[in-house]
């Protein structure tokens, strides 16, 4: 299995596994605070955003971030909204085809970024309702932070 295929398979498995029984504004607050706590424990300068149906439910910019991180959040979340998959997975699928997202998607790179860090909020029985995103670390680490937080959140609410 190629490196791209392994990465794609791993992210697809995460997306199948990390589905929520429900998601409301209070859930967004709890998940966002969990991500912020994890980032602060690690000294990670990240910006965190949670969107549902086009509405921003949570936003937190930790020390060391800049307005650029907000722009990255928005661009990555647009990829989740358009493709119904994590921004990291979308980028990996394009790379596996030997194509760059920016060149091959035909989408404005100022509005869309298929870089790791935005993950779909998938509610069981409903589908993708929004996205949770982190910006500030290398893309694999942004993605991993969101995945770890979702795993912890689902364990705590089970």
Task: Report DSSP letters for 66-113, one per residue.
Answer: -HHHHHHHHHHHHHHHHHSS-HHHHHHHHHHTT--HHHHS-S-TTT--
Q: How far is CA 40 from CA 60, 63, 79, 95, 118, in A?
A: 12, 9, 26, 32, 19
Residue 1 has pLDDT above 70, yes or no: no
Residue 95 Cα distances to 1, 22, 102, angstroms: 15, 33, 11
- In the prediction, which pLDDT does 103 show? 87
**% of residues, the chain, pLDDT over 70:** 99
Quick one: pLDDT at residue 98? 87
Q: What is the pLDDT of residues 13-32, one digit of tens each?
A: 999 999 999 999 999 999 99
Cβ neighbourhood burial of 2 (10 Å; 0-12, 13-18, 19+): exposed
pLDDT surpassing 70 at residue 107: yes
pLDDT at 4: 84
pLDDT at 100: 87
3-state helix, strand, coil in the chain (%, to 5): 50, 20, 30
CA distance 104 to 95: 10
- Distance between CA atoms of residues 146 and 148, nearest Å: 6
52 CB neighbour count, 10 Å cutoff: 19
* Rounded Cα distance, 119 and 50, in Å: 10
Residue pLDDT, tens place only, 27-74: 999 999 999 999 999 999 999 999 999 899 999 999 999 999 999 999
Closest CA to 90 of 49, 131, 53, 34: 131
Whole-model pTM? 0.95
Among the residue ranges 50-64, 73-87, 98-112, 136-150, the one predicted with the least confidence is: 98-112
CATH architecture of the domain formed by 3-157: 2-Layer Sandwich (3.30)
**Residue 115 carries which DSSP code?**
-
Who wins on pLDDT, 2 or 12?
Answer: 12
Distances (CA, A) of 137 to 44, 108, 143: 7, 23, 9
What mean pLDDT do residues 119-124 have? Answer: 97
Q: Where are the domains of the chain?
A: 3-157
Average pLDDT, the chain: 95
């Amino acid at each position: 299995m190629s490196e791209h295929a392994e990465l794609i398979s791993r992210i697809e498995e995460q997306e199948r596994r990390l589905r929520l029984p429900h998601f409301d504004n209070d859930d967004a607050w709890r998940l966002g605070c969990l991500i912020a706590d994890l980032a602060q424990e690690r000294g990670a300068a990240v910006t965190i955003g949670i969107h549902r149906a086009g509405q921003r439910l949570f936003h937190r910019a930790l020390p060391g971030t800049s307005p650029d991180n907000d722009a990255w959040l928005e661009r990555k979340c647009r990829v989740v909204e358009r493709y119904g998959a994590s921004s990291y997975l979308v980028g990996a699928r394009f790379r596996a085809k030997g194509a760059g997202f920016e060149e091959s998607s035909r989408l404005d790179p100022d509005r869309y970024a298929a870089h790791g860090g935005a993950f779909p909020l998938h509610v069981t029985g409903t589908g993708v309702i929004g996205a949770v995103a982190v910006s500030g670390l290398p893309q694999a680490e942004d993605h991993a932070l969101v995945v770890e937080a979702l795993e912890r959140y689902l364990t705590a609410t089970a």
